[in-house]
Amino acid sequence: LIRDLKPDRFEDLVALLALYRPGPLGSGMVADFIERRHGRKKVTYLAPALESILQETYGVILYQEQVMEIAGTLAGFSMGEADLMRRAMGKKKAKEMAKLREQFVKGSKARKVPQAKAEAIFDLCAKFAEYGFNKSHSTSYAVISYQTAYLKTHYPLEFMAARLTSIMSDSDKVASY
């Protein structure tokens, strides 16, 4: 994935860590993200209002915060309502989702988004929420990953000595490292 993405800025690592999970890997969104990132595939948005929300991720919903922002911008949800929507989607609560879908479509229509597009956007958010990740976690993991890679590359002996010391009570792990 790193070879395909060819990260050249920290934000690429943040996205990469959100992408490198079973849901995104199995959904095809990783390929879309990479193709769009390198300009081999056109970045598209289902509604103009989504551009400001999804521009940094090339039109792909990647973070939970984006789902919440979409709910607020497109459907007029408060942040509390948007968070409830995100949670209901993540836990696949069918009854709650049906109510939220109706509210989302109604709010979107009031903001001049055609019903079919509003429904498609809600469905896209719901699909994403099955494997969504929040950006702050991804960012934290990216910092740790970057630091670890740096230390392993520039201080390999010290890195491995520290690594082995941290697991020295587990002979199987010591042998594998």
Which token pair is 66?
A: 């984006």
Task: State mean pLDDT over 24-33.
Answer: 86
Q: Give the chain's length.
A: 177
State the chain's mean pLDDT as an integer: 92
Task: Output 129-132 pairs: Cβ under 8 A, ≥24 positions apart.
Answer: 129/64, 129/67, 129/86, 129/89, 129/90, 130/23, 130/89, 130/90, 130/92, 131/21, 131/22, 131/23, 131/24, 131/27, 132/61, 132/63, 132/64, 132/67, 132/86, 132/89, 132/90
Extract the tokens encoding 62.
């990647």
d(CA 88, CA 160): 43
In terms of Cα–Cα distance, which of 26, 32, 45 is closest to 4? 32
* Joined tokens for residue 135: 């950006």
Instruction: For residues 150-158, give the mean pLDDT.
Output: 97
Q: What is the mean pLDDT of residues 141-158?
A: 96
Residue 22 has what pLDDT?
A: 80
Q: From CA 8, how far away is CA 163, in angstroms rounded?
A: 28
What distance in Å separates the CA atoms of residue 5 and residue 19, rounded to the nearest whole number? 11
Q: For 34-68, write each residue's pLDDT tens digit.
A: 999 999 999 999 999 999 999 999 999 999 999 99
pTM: 0.84
Nearest to 107 by CA among 122, 129, 92: 122
> What does the pLDDT look like over 99-122, one tens digit per residue?
999 999 999 999 999 999 999 999
- Of 117, 118, 128, the residue nearest 21 (C-alpha): 128
